[in-house]
Copies of this chain bind each other. A is one copy, B any other.
């Protein structure tokens, strides 16, 4: 990925409301959630949420699909993959022991299987 899109994605996520939206949609999975339900779940004004959703979509982190009157948003897992790869690129200059913990963390990421393995330390927003 290009550095410009990495900046776009990082700054899209670097705001409390948008980070909450993204994480909510990561948890929701591929079906996604309609904009109105996101606003209700997070207590955000509809117009504020709308601008934030636009920024996340523009950054490639979310997809959107209209269903009647409702617009349903979903997280795009590939966007996260690309970002992680970009941040770790050429890491640890041939010393596997340095970045192995990072890879293990990604593999554990509280997912797959459902909740047998927990993340090490929770990270606050």
Chain A 92-125 interface mask (CB, 8 Å, partner B; 1/0):
1111101111111111111111110001111111
Complex interface: chain B residues within 8 A of A77 (CB): 91-92, 98-99, 101-102
The segment out of A7-15, A38-46, A62-70 that lies at the interface is A7-15
A71 within 8 A of B: no
Mark A residues whose CB is within 8 Å of B.
1-7, 10-11, 13-16, 19-20, 22-23, 26-30, 75, 77-78, 80-96, 98-115, 119-125
Main DSSP-derived SS at the A contact region: helix
Question: Which of B19, B99, B100, B110 interacts with A88 by CB under 8 Å?
Answer: B110
* 17 A-B contact pairs sorted by A residue (CB < 8 Å): A3-B124, A4-B124, A6-B125, A7-B16, A10-B13, A13-B87, A26-B92, A27-B93, A29-B98, A81-B105, A84-B105, A85-B105, A86-B123, A88-B106, A89-B109, A94-B113, A106-B106
